[in-house]
Amino acid sequence: MRVQSSAPDMDSAVSGIPRHVAIIMDGNNRWAKRRGLRGVEGHRAGADAVRNTVENCARSGVAVLTVYAFSSENWRRPEPEVEALMGLFLEALAEEVSALHENGIRLRFVGDLSAFSATLQEKMQAAMDLTGGNQRMTFAVAVNYGGQWDITQAARTLARQVQAGTLQPQQITPERMQAEVALGDLPPPDLCIRTGGEQRISNFLLWQLAYAELYFTDVLWPDFDQDALEQSFADFRRRQRRFGRTSEQIEAGQQ
């Protein structure tokens, strides 16, 4: 990674750069097929695009970048593809974590990590421990993750608290739920990007994306470069984020 050392602007969403960018990385297999390559080569090119996007987001002043790397539904893919993805995951952990740490980027994994091998779980935890004190940017990787699973886990946590008598049902508020979902301690996504031409969120951050701006592009993920990222930011700047208010209220500066 070749990231400059400026710290992120925590008010960047006000200045036109989203504080939290969430990305559904789609199109690796189609990218490979169009070039007559094996699917794993598309995923390898996609890993390069992840590296470049981390660099570009950190350089732009993004505070949080979350990528959808492996959904809970991806286990249904052909076994050789899943095995190749796990191999690439291990490679990335071995090759990229030290660079993330050197550039002040905190790495977090969200999802049901128990489904992965003990070796992979240990490496993921070691990476989070190493980078846990970094404050430049948080890079969250959603693996074996699904939004419905996330909300279900949060609901179960609150239900156990009610059962234990430490929480009353009427105390279950959106704020309490927010505290239990993945990444609940971070600002919610301002911008959700999906590459590859599809226009759906595919069970990604269902709670967290409530007020995110959605941006869909036909660019396949391995081709998503700095220009493509800047185009998404330019589109974000053209949006008027009302959060339930009217345009007139926004223009009058009412909160």
Which residues are identified as catalytic?
Answer: 26, 74
**CA distance linking residue 97 with residue 47, whole number of Å:** 13
Q: Which amino acid is at 205?
A: L
The first and second tokens of residue 112, run together, are 């049901």
Q: Cα dihedral sign for 226, 229, 231, 236?
A: negative
φ/ψ bin of 163: left (φ > 0), alpha (ψ from -120 to 50), beta (otherwise): alpha
DSSP string, 114-153: GGS-HHHHHHHHHHHHHHTT--SEEEEEEEEE-HHHHHHH
Please check whether residue 209 is in contact with residue 192, taking contact to mean a CB–CB distance below 8 angstroms. yes
The first and second tokens of residue 86, run together, are 């796990």
**CA distance linking residue 54 with residue 69, whole number of Å:** 13
Contacts of residue 35, Cβ cutoff 8 Å, sequence gap at least 6? 41
